[in-house]
Amino acid sequence: MYSYALLEAGCYYLIQEKQHENLTLLQIKVISDHCMYVEKYNERIIQEWKRKTDPIFDIVELLSDGTAKEWTDAYYSNEDAYHEEDDE
């Protein structure tokens, strides 16, 4: 069992918060003395504070800079396509 305290600011991680949950991609935005502000990417972006002591079942992967860039390019290009369809 891991905790949020192991994660570093600015990095993208694939994690599994609980044993039988799906993977979640998140980025650590801000680290304070006792907490972390994170962005979780699911169907929509969820921003929330987590305690450094909050448990994580598994840290599957720290995305490399190249992989993170590939993902952000794909994620935001799909988001734009979705919004263009809505405008019509």
Enclosing domain of residue 58? 2-63
- What digits encode the pLDDT tens for the residues 3-40? 999 999 999 999 999 999 999 999 999 999 999 999 99
Q: What percent of the chain has pLDDT over 70?
A: 88
On whether residue 73 sits in a domain, the answer given is no
For all residues of the chain together, what is the average pLDDT? 89
On whether residue 29 sits in a domain, the answer given is yes
- Per-residue CA distances from 1 to 35, 54, 55 (Å): 18, 10, 7
Task: Provide the domain count of the chain.
Answer: 1
Residue 62: pLDDT above 90?
A: yes
- Are 23 and 58 within 8 A, CB to CB? no
On whether residue 80 sits in a domain, the answer given is no
- pTM score of the predicted model: 0.81
Residue 79 pLDDT level (bands cut at 50, 70, 90):
low
Longest dimension (CA), the chain: 48
